[in-house]
Each structure stands twice: as C-alpha cells, then as structure tokens.
C-alpha cells in the first residue's frame, strides 16, 4: 500500500440489499463525493467479492467490499517552503521531479513535508470552500508515486486542467516509463507482464498478483545487463499500487533494494561489497524517468525526460552513458561497461578504486582474447561473471547514486 492510499473494507447486511454501490460508499466514506467514488470504482480501485464492478452494481447481503482511497487528501494543511525540482511550468500545469522519501499527499499520520504541502506554497494554491463546507486546499496532483519512488509527476493548476489530464490517464493516453534495476537476467530482451494485482489479505501493506485483482499491464525492455543485475525500462499501461514492484517480483526479477517484494534477495548477493552497498541505500532502484501527455490547452504532445534527475536520475544517467551494448556478448559488455563508466569522478575514492580495478581486468581480458577466441577468464557466456566481476562496477554505480 502506498502512503497515499487508505484501504477500507465493508460487509453488507440484508438492509443494504438492492442499494447502488456508489450510493452505499458515499454514505459511509466521509469527505468523498459520489462522483469521486464513481471514478474509483471505474478505475477498479473498488472491488466487490474480489472482482471489479460498475458504480451501479446492486448490493447483496454479505458482499465484501474493498476500497482503496487513492490519494486521500487531508481536509486542511499548511503550505510549506520545501524546495522543488520543477522540470516544466506554465500557467496551466507543472511537471515536478519528486525526490525519493517524499509522500505525495497528506494522509493518515503524515500531515507535513509532502509534495502537496510544497506545491501549495510554490504555486500559491488558495483555500476554497467545497460542497461539504469543509475548507481544503485544492491541489491538482493528477497521479501518484510511492514514497520511495522518485521521478516525474504532473500537477494541474485548475480544475479544468486536472479533469482533462485525469481523463487522459483513465483512457491510457499518457506515456509513463520507469527505469528499474532488478535482480538476475531475464531470458528475453523485452516482454510484457499482463497480470492482475490485488491486496495481499495476509499482509495489508503488500499487493500481489491475484486472479480477481485489478487489471495491470507492464511492458519492459532490457537497457543494460550486468553480471547479477539488469537495468530495465518499464512502461506501465495501468497505475496499480506498487505495480512495477509486484510485476517484476512476479517474474522472479524483483527491484534491487525493495525489502517488501524481493523476499530477501538483496541478502543473497555473493559479493560482500555489493551486498553492503545495497543495504546502505535508503530506497529502492525505481525512478519515473519519462512522462508524455497531450497539453490540455495547446493540444500539443508534451514529452519530458530530464537530462539529470534527483537521486536515481543521476544513477540512471551515469549508467546510460556509453553502455548500450549487445547483451549476448559478456566480454564486450564488460569492456563497454568499463568504457562507459570511465568518466565518473564524483562517486568518491572507493568508487574510483573499483573502477580502476575493473579497467585492469578489462585490459587483461583483451590480452587473453588476442591469444584465444574465448578468454580463459570467461568459462562460458552464461558464467561470464566468474572472475571479471562486473558487480564491482555496480558498487561504483551505487556510490554515484548515493552522492
């Protein structure tokens, strides 16, 4: 469950038989209008007996209703002067690069330090009276990111723009792509994960692939392979809670640093330096890198992919440079990876030492290939991590990421 989502459950009685689902929820969930609840139902954030239904669904006695109150806003909160990385801004909307560790909306137990608090200050959103006579800040955050996921998020500056952008998200017209570092090496270079996601009934903080969950579709493509890890580009067609984290774990390639879903995989990394580097990270390796939508006013396609981004953006930019190489040739991968990382000087002395050690190994492998078609250090293409340890370069990447 994200910090921006509150899960509620209801069990209907005989007195509720025949009542519309949206009306039933509107009577029981304070501060949520019937129209907002209808959108939740249409987005499959409401399940009845583990299945998505329509807002007009007529209830039966004993129905089990599960509701995820996505982005449930606090009734009132204070604008706060929190620095923002604003990628784009005009009079209608803004695109922000959210840092890891920042909650999007105030909610249960979190009333300050959120992205909404910062936006209210920087864009001077005003307090307005809403229909239920409660005063609230109408913050136009259109979609959500988990607390420890960094990256791009779009903010609408008025209700018209908010509704237009929300409709694009509902109709899947928005392009959202993430970069994720995962454990292992997928057999293919690209693929899709079409698996519904529901809440884990044994642990309400977790989601899981579930037969009767909400539909969820992720498209992935290998960007770079390392000895024990793979950097993926992941496009999501839906926006389910923890979608990428659940889907990559489902195919046995969980996100590095994700303690909730990788089932202790971080602790199984053989190389001590690499394992310690992962353990020292305050977050997991997932960043919302690309965002594209149609500007509601200009009707032009707007695309955002910052050259440098906070936190993992620095990591991803560092990895990308010079490392686009065929994944089927491990010796070439090692050399090209070393060349691509040769310019990284801000990762600290320990990272530079690792880089130097990797470069020496590469020079040695070149000499070996001069005498034989396959260097003796590489016993097979499947076992190319035997002695030329690209995990060492991964330690350097982590160091760069943490700076």
Residues 187 and 268 grouped into a single domain: yes
Indicate whether 371 pLDDT > 50: no
User: Per-residue confidence at 327, pLDDT binned at 50, 70, 90?
Assistant: very low
What number of CA atoms fall less than 13 Å from residue 101's CA on the CB side? 8
Residues 181 and 272 grouped into a single domain: yes
Contacts of 100 (CB under 8 A, 6+ apart): 147, 148, 149, 150, 282, 283, 310, 311, 312
Distance of alpha carbon 145 from alpha carbon 316, whole angstroms: 18
Last residue of a domain, one of 269, 284, 299: 284
Give 357 or 181, the one with higher predicted confidence. Answer: 181
> 357-368 burial string, b = 16+ CB within 10 Å, else e?
ebbebbeebeeb
Residues 280 and 330 grouped into a single domain: no
Q: How high is the pLDDT of residue 245?
A: 97
Q: Find, among 239, 181, 234, 201, the residue nearest to 395 by Cα.
A: 181
Distance of alpha carbon 196 from alpha carbon 182, whole angstroms: 21
Does residue 152 sit within a domain? no
Q: How high is the pLDDT of residue 396?
A: 53
**Among 12-16, 125-129, 291-295, 350-354, whose mean pLDDT is lowest?**
350-354
Distance of alpha carbon 178 from alpha carbon 18, whole angstroms: 43
Does residue 84 sit within a domain? no
User: Per-residue confidence at 178, pLDDT binned at 50, 70, 90?
Assistant: very high
Give 389 or 83, the one with higher predicted confidence. Answer: 83
What number of CA atoms fall less than 13 Å from residue 155's CA on the CB side? 29
Q: How high is the pLDDT of residue 77?
A: 63
Indicate whether 169 pLDDT > 70: yes
DSSP string, 238-261: S--TTHHHHHHHHTT-PBTT-TTT
Q: How high is the pLDDT of residue 138?
A: 54
- Distance between first and last Cα of the chain: 29
Read off the CATH number of the domain in which 197 is found.
3.30.2350.10
Residues 248 and 335 grouped into a single domain: no
**Among 67-71, 205-209, 244-248, 262-266, whose mean pLDDT is lowest?**
67-71
Average pLDDT over every residue of 321-346: 31
Residues 244 and 343 grouped into a single domain: no
Which residues are marked as active site? 146
Residues 183 and 272 grouped into a single domain: yes
Residues 338 and 395 grouped into a single domain: yes
Residues 275 and 340 grouped into a single domain: no
Read off the CATH number of the domain in which 45 is found.
3.10.290.10
Residues 262 and 182 grouped into a single domain: yes
Average pLDDT over every residue of 254-279: 90
Give 337 or 286, the one with higher predicted confidence. Answer: 286
What's the domain count of the chain? 3
Longest dimension (CA), the chain: 84
User: Per-residue confidence at 125, pLDDT binned at 50, 70, 90?
Assistant: low
What is the four-CA torsion angle of 22, 24, 30, 33, rounded to 10 degrees? 20
Average pLDDT over every residue of 251-272: 93
Indicate whether 275 pLDDT > 70: yes
Give 123 or 264, the one with higher predicted confidence. Answer: 264
Q: How high is the pLDDT of residue 202?
A: 78
Q: How high is the pLDDT of residue 346?
A: 30
Check if the beta carbon of residue 169 is closer than 8 Å to that of residue 143: yes
Average pLDDT over every residue of 115-128: 77
Out of 96-110, 153-167, 314-328, give the one with best mean pLDDT: 153-167
Indicate whether 194 pLDDT > 90: yes
Question: What value, to the nearest 5°, has the Cα angle with vertex 183 and ends 179 and 184?
Answer: 115
Does residue 19 sit within a domain? yes
The domain containing residue 351 runs over which residues? 325-402
Q: Is the pTM of this model over 0.75?
A: no
Q: Give the chain's mean pLDDT.
A: 75
391-402 vs 272-279: helix crossing angle, rounded to 10: 20
Decide: helix, strand or coil at residue 391: helix
Does residue 309 sit within a domain? no
Last residue of a domain, one of 25, 44, 70: 70
Check if the beta carbon of residue 115 is closer than 8 Å to that of residue 135: no
Distance of alpha carbon 278 from alpha carbon 267, whole angstroms: 9
Give 65 or 322, the one with higher predicted confidence. Answer: 65
Q: Residue 24: enclosing H or E segment and its boundaries?
A: helix 21-28
Does residue 105 sit within a domain? no
Q: How high is the pLDDT of residue 126?
A: 53
Give the ranges where 251-347 is alpha helix by DSSP (H). 272-279, 312-320, 330-340
Q: How high is the pLDDT of residue 265?
A: 94
Q: Residue 95: enclosing H or E segment and its boundaries?
A: strand 93-98
Q: Structure tokens of 372?
A: 């034989």
Distance of alpha carbon 222 from alpha carbon 388, whole angstroms: 21
349-371 vs 391-402: helix crossing angle, rounded to 10: 150
Last residue of a domain, one of 70, 89, 120: 70
Does residue 227 sit within a domain? yes
Average pLDDT over every residue of 315-341: 33
Q: How high is the pLDDT of residue 257?
A: 93
Q: How high is the pLDDT of residue 385?
A: 37
Average pLDDT over every residue of 260-265: 93
Place of tokens 């529901």: 198
User: Per-residue confidence at 285, pLDDT binned at 50, 70, 90?
Assistant: very high
Indicate whether 236 pLDDT > 70: yes
Residues 188 and 279 grouped into a single domain: yes
Q: How high is the pLDDT of residue 271?
A: 86
Place of tokens 């990895």: 319
Does residue 158 sit within a domain? no
User: Per-residue confidence at 315, pLDDT binned at 50, 70, 90?
Assistant: very low
What number of CA atoms fall less than 13 Å from residue 270's CA on the CB side? 10
């Amino acid at each position: 469950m994200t910090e921006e989502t509150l899960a509620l459950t209801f069990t209907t009685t005989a007195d509720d038989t025949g009542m519309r689902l949206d009306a039933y929820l509107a009577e029981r969930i304070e501060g949520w209008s019937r129209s907002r609840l209808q959108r939740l139902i249409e987005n499959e954030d409401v399940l009845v007996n583990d299945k998505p239904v329509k807002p007009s669904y007529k209830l039966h006695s004993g129905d089990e209703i599960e509701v995820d109150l996505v982005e449930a806003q606090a009734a009132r909160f204070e604008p706060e002067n929190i620095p923002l990385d604003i990628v784009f801004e005009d009079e209608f909307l803004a695109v922000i690069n959210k840092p890891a560790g920042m909650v999007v909306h105030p909610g249960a137990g979190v009333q300050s330090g959120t992205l909404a608090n910062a936006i209210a200050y920087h864009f001077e959103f005003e307090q307005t009276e809403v229909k239920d006579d409660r005063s609230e800040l109408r913050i136009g955050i259109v979609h959500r990111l988990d607390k420890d996921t960094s990256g791009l998020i779009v903010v609408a500056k008025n209700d018209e723009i908010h509704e237009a952008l929300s409709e694009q998200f509902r109709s899947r017209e928005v392009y959202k792509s993430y970069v994720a570092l995962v454990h292992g090496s997928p057999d293919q270079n690209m693929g899709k994960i079409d698996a519904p996601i529901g809440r884990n009934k044994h642990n309400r903080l977790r989601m899981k692939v579930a037969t009767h969950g909400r539909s969820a579709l992720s498209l992935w493509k290998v960007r770079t392979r390392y000895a024990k890890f793979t950097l993926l580009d992941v496009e999501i067609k839906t926006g389910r809670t923890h979608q990428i984290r659940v889907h990559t774990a489902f195919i046995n390639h969980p996100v590095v640093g994700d303690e909730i879903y990788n089932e202790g995989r971080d602790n199984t990394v053989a190389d001590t330096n690499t394992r310690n580097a992962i353990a020292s990270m305050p977050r997991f390796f997932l960043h919302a890198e690309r965002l594209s939508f149609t500007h509601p006013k200009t009707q032009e396609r707007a695309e955002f992919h910052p050259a440098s981004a906070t936190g993992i953006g620095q990591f991803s930019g560092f990895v990308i440079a010079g490392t686009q190489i065929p994944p089927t040739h491990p010796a070439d991968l090692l050399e090209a990876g070393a060349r691509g990382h040769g310019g990284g000087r801000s990762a600290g002395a320990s990272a530079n030492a690792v880089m130097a050690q990797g470069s020496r190994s590469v020079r040695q492998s070149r000499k070996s290939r001069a005498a034989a078609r396959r260097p003796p250090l590489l016993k097979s293409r499947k076992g190319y991590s035997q002695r030329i340890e690209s995990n060492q370069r991964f330690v350097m990447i982590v160091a760069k990421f943490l700076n």
